[in-house]
Structure 1
Amino acid sequence: MNIRSDYEQVNRLYYRQLHSETIDLESEDFQQATLLSHNFNNEAEKWQAYLKILGLLALKKWLSDRHLRLDNKIESLPPNQIISSEPMSNLQVGGFKACLLTNESIVDEGIEIPQKMINSPDFAAHFYIVIQVLVEEEEAILIGFRRYDQLINQYLEKNKIGNYQLSLSELNYDSSHLILNLKYLSPAAIKIPENTLAESKSWEKLTSWLEGILREGWQPVEEILGNRKPIIQMAFNLDKTTEKLSPKVVKKFIKQFQMTQKQRGKIQTDLSKTELSDTEVNKALVKILQTTEDEETRWQVAELLWEIDPSHPAAGVRRAIDIGMQLAGVPVALMIAILPKPNQRFAVLSRVYPLQDQRFLPANLKLIGLDEMGQSLFEIRARERDDYIQFKFSADPGDRFSLQIVLNSAIVTKNFII
């Protein structure tokens, strides 16, 4: 049995090598990949971008040699797709959608495909194309491809982080089949998930908030919460007479951050002053927001900015909605905040408050997060005397999630897309 297995493995390897196509990478390709990858922050992101751009250039060249065209302009692709370890989706070849899997997706003689790349209308593709980039050899290899309809009709195993595992042996190695499909097949022949008009209306796009586009019902937090004391009071002492943050309080926070993070050289504010001007306070906080990698510190700074300058663009956007009428008349509000991160991702804060004269949330009220497939991501339950509950997480553009506020048999669901 082992002999037969080894023979079959060698046979598959020979077949793969026979049909795999080599794409030569020119010096111009390496120059373009170097130039575009320099737009990113750290070495890991630069290397990830470098490989992906080379893979894209190889695919573009391979298609061009066969009188096909990659419609996407590489320099205009979303930065988060280039630095992410996930496959590159939403590539257009004629009327087809393609998903490119490069080096980081190829592990242990197989490839990893995140669920959303197959199940989500925003990421699903007609063709999943695997390209290996060999930098030292100055070439790329088109290993094979798989059609969407073939993927969904086979059993796909999931790994520990929920990604689908696809063996390289399950790919179609004959690139001539891919050419024939792209040239002579109609995109309608391969059914992929699509957003219906009703579905598209039910998702609140959070990145649109950063452009000032919001749906009816979402209001500035101050208008919904009224005179409730800010959450930031739990971490900082407020002025006893005004219940506002004073420059001295912010100065203390900035100084503590400098001492613990050893970033004295990155913040130019003179801390020897007895008072800080509003401009100096904002400048110092924004600098921390742009340089720190600690998620909790970023949210602390955002909270400070919300109290000092609620409309400051660096603090992202936060809005709240009264959901009491939908929750059996219980006066509560859902607040959502979105905060851009340096790595092209977004930090999201979800928080539930009591409203009106209610000081605390009802015990056992739940905040539940669901992914786009309806699977649970988190569940936060209010305890006795909780004046709010919350959950923070990070997401990529295009990610979808839902929030449910549950109290006994009453459920309110809000759907979001980054």
Structure 2
Amino acid sequence: MLSLSDFVNIDTKHIWLQVETAEQEKVWQLSQHHSNAIAIYNAYLNRICLSRILTWFQLSLQEARLRAEVFPSEENLPSILEIVNGTAIKVGETKIVLVPTETIDIEELCVPQEWVDINSWAADYYIPVQVNLDDDDDCWIRVCGFATHRQLKNQGKYNSSDRTYSLPIEQLTESFTLLFATLGLRWREEVLSEVTLSAAEAQNLLQTLSDASIYSPRVHLDIPFAQWAALISNEQWRQQLYNQRLTKEKNTAPTAKKYFSPSIESMNSVSIDSSFIPMNLNQWFQKLFTAGWQPIDEVLNSQLGNLAFEFRSFSATSKTGINGVKLIDLGVQLGGQSLALMLALSQEEDKKTAIIVQVHPTGNNKYLPPNLKIMLLESGNILQQIESRSLDSYIQLNRFKGLSGTRFSIQLTLDDFKMTENFSI
């Protein structure tokens, strides 16, 4: 296995920085104050990236007597990392956004829309940072070049399903001498001003998005981005969202929360249980959807990709059919890909509820990641299990039925990611 020194000798174009174990453990402790495991791990990766890059910038700018600092401030980091990937630093009037990824073969810079289209967040430069924390004794980050805001807006590809701008890695500038030489120049395109939210509108959004089981409120696609941007660009409202998500998580499942111990092994895994209180699927027949679930018909096909025909035809054959979808963000540790977990329900003549479960890729992704497993569990026992292959456009459990009062769980696993959704009929 290649060490950091090997990589440095092989690839002399990029910046390679060591990550010490002591720094990982310190950052891990700082990252615990979030509402769910994905947000915790997102904060951990981003803080590792920010810590190392900030130190590197300080050393690089010493002769120029310039200072790099966290933007907007260290105090604002928790409320930002709860909801979005990426951090920012500021050198004078120049802003630089750092976007960490654990993708092994980086093919593109992928920047959340918030860092591009919110006036007060938009930066001059964007830097993808590859983070490798798999080897306890040889962890590192690689700085892969940079792009400007102007490049992202004019040449980048916008993906509406996960609200990101992407740019092929080949279009990035690799020489950071050029970045340091052009500090102070403006490399931003004009961005539309944020819409104005009333206090009542803001409180309605806060009530919806403060549910901690909505792991990624930024891709709650029935809320227009303009409203979302107006909400989180307001420091007071963003802090309120952060506080409410933490408070609701603690109040709804006080014994369910399982923060990881600060061991290196635990830092590289993510495990999520939606709630110890199962969702009552009977409420769906009254059009009541909660905890991040939405009726499929209310989500645009362009956001979900190629929905399987049988999902619509299944409920169409019954007057009592209903279906729902939940968008799942796999997090930066799995390349930021998102999935759609879909359930179709139908009330049968034998008073049982029939259920079909599928998982689809979203947006421009045609295929699921390979080795994604979906399992049907009852009392901890595996009743069904399906695993995706390299070119599966979706996977599906066999149709099953249950009487009123039946409880079951659907579990998704991929590498170190695990998510469990609990239901009752």
By relative contact order (CA 8 Å, sep 6+), the higher-ranking structure is 2
TM-score (norm 2): 0.43
Q: Which structure features the higher share of helix residues?
A: 1
Normalising by structure 1, what TM-score? 0.43
